[in-house]
Chains A and B, each alone.
Chain A
């Protein structure tokens, strides 16, 4: 998937993105790193087809096509669950919207709930779950259609550190097991280094790519990686890039 010269200007005149170029290869784990308001989320929404670029093109595998024809899982900043129904019904929503039969949906829902470790909570209501569990439900819902591409918009930003580390590890396990392409938006240097193979540092207002960093540390990554000198080195590089992207200020 490739973005070429993508720009987005909102009706209010705010220029969120200008000349954004980005290539993502199948199976890759890419992070978009940047300060709040640098258009990372806007880029993600454009890729998802939730909004249209003012200029530029988004192409898939060389052919220009709309995102609607592609299978995409989206995880929002908030869990974004329907409070009026159970975990299982929340997870099977994408299948229901595609008119899948209950017999077809049930085993897939059971399988993704198993994967995120929430089998016991299939009949619970969202309000009965903790923040981390809600986010797991949200991830399960994004995975239930078995999409090729998983878009994640600062999914763990609102969680406490312990839960975030745990979910980081679980996400890496999922990624390694399912080999999805993941585009992960974050404003956390540490999270982006820990998770991704490649970090795209973005400049604020208007958003464009400032620098790309390769994190070539091998997977599986775990707590020993989190405390290694290699990890610290990558974090320093990413922090410096982020500082320069913001014009040295802030």
Chain B
């Protein structure tokens, strides 16, 4: 790779500078509105106060952040492994697919907020939160991986048959690599969704005590009219979501950059 051409570098800078400028503008407007209207902090805290709360309450907030992130990652890991495993199972056996796929769809279309209270009755709290994160996040992995496994190039499949490939050779050398782009799309969606699942479950669980996450912190701060802390926790959630998104996008790019059209930059 040679150095990027000037106009490519310029475009890249624009894509970074423009959103940051918009963000700065929004924060400045927020600050100005709070100042001009002299809004009290329990109606709308200014950005300065929120930032200060973020620093002052870091002890509580960081603890909650870790709790939420742990649930998110556990749910995400289960969603990815469960989704890929089920997709492989469906691909290997049509009977299993016909038997189980409708239930996967039912789990997906039933709002998780409605399932969560029930889960809390039958599972310990941490288990219920994890189950919610999993239910929300596994379906995109399953659906996309299934699509990928079923879209193998027919000629390549014939080639494998010609050389008498065994089913595990077909799976490892042919189906999984060729499904990788779709699988990664599902995994990227699952990353964001497992955070959503964790947050929803925490809100529904609602009980106090050790291991309470950011969503619970937001609800609790609401009851106490501690609006600055609500904003601070919300910002942490957003940042967590953004980091997850970019981390997964980065992984996906690394895996596909040599061969997949979506990851290859074209010269014009």
A binding-site residues for B, Cβ under 8 Å: 45, 48-50, 68, 72, 74, 76-78, 80, 82-85, 93-94, 96-98, 125-127, 145
Given A84-B259, A125-B259, do A97 and B163 touch, yes or no (CB 8 Å)?
A: yes
**Also in contact, A48 and B162, with CB within 8 A (given A84-B180, A127-B264):** yes
Inside 8 A of A77's CB, which chain B residues have their CB?
Answer: 155
Hey, which bits of chain B sit against chain A, CB under 8 A?
153, 155-156, 158-165, 169, 173-174, 177-178, 180, 258-261, 264
Looking at B163, B173, B261, B264, the one whose CB has the most chain A CB atoms below 10 A away is B163
Give complex CA distance A126, B159 in Å.
17
Give which listed residue, B156, B163, B174, B177, contacts A94 with CB less than 8 A.
Answer: B163
B156 and chain A: residue at smallest CB distance: A80
- Closest chain B CB from A51 CB (angstroms): 9
Q: Which of B155, B162, B165 contacts A78 (CB under 8 A)? A: B155
CB of A121, distance to nearest CB on chain B (Å): 14
Residues of B within 8 A of A125 (CB): 258-259
Q: List 29 A-B contacts (CB under 8 A).
A: A49-B162, A50-B158, A50-B161, A74-B159, A76-B158, A77-B155, A78-B155, A80-B153, A80-B155, A80-B156, A82-B177, A83-B259, A83-B260, A84-B177, A84-B178, A84-B180, A84-B260, A85-B259, A93-B173, A94-B163, A96-B169, A97-B160, A97-B165, A97-B173, A98-B163, A125-B258, A125-B259, A127-B259, A127-B261
By the criterion CB–CB under 8 Å, are A76 and B155 in contact?
Answer: yes
Q: Which chain A residue lies CB-closest to B181?
A: A84
Chain A residues whose CB sits within 8 angstroms of the CB of B180 once the complex forms: 84
Q: Which residues of A contact B155 (CB under 8 A)?
A: 76-78, 80
CA distance A78 to B164 in the complex (A): 21
How many A-B pairs fall under 8 Å by CB?
56
Verify A74–B162 contact, CB threshold 8 A. Answer: yes
Bound complex: CA A49 to CA B161 (Å): 9
For B178, list chain A residues within 8 Å (CB). Answer: 82, 84
Does A126 lie within 8 Å of B259, measured CB to CB?
yes
Chain B, residue nearest A99 (CB): B169
Instruction: Give, as a whole number of angstroms, the nearest-CB distance from A78 to chain B.
Output: 6
Residue among B155, B162, B259, B264 with max Cβ neighbours from chain A (10 Å): B162
What are the residues of chain A within 8 A of B163 when measuring CB–CB?
Answer: 93-94, 97-98, 145
Top 5 closest A-B pairs, CB basis? A80-B155, A97-B163, A84-B177, A83-B259, A76-B155
- Docked Cα-Cα span, A186 to B164, in Å, equals 27
B151: shortest Cβ distance to chain A, in Å? 13
| A97 lies within 8 A of B259 (CB) | no
Pick from A50, A96, A126, A127: contact of B162, CB below 8 A.
A50
Across-interface contacts of B161 in A (CB, < 8 A): 50
Specify the chain A residue showing the minimal Cβ separation from B159. Answer: A80
With beta carbons under 8 angstroms apart, the residue of B156, B258, B264 that contacts A82 is B156
- Inter-chain contacts of B169 with A (CB < 8 A): 96-97
Given A74-B159, A76-B155, A127-B259, 13 more pairs with CB closer than 8 A: A45-B158, A49-B162, A72-B162, A74-B158, A76-B158, A82-B177, A84-B178, A84-B180, A85-B177, A97-B173, A98-B163, A125-B258, A125-B259
A72 to B164, CA, bound (A): 11
Closest to A83 in B: B259
- Closest-by-CB residue of B relative to A124 is B258
Q: CA separation between A50 and B156, bound complex, in Å?
A: 12
A76 CA / B156 CA spacing, docked (Å): 9
- Interface core residue of B159, B160, B165, B174 (most chain A CB under 10 Å): B159
Whole-angstrom distance between the Cβ of A154 and the nearest chain B Cβ: 12
List chain B residues, Cβ under 8 A from A97: 160, 163-165, 169, 173
**Min C-beta distance of A76 to chain B, whole Å:** 5
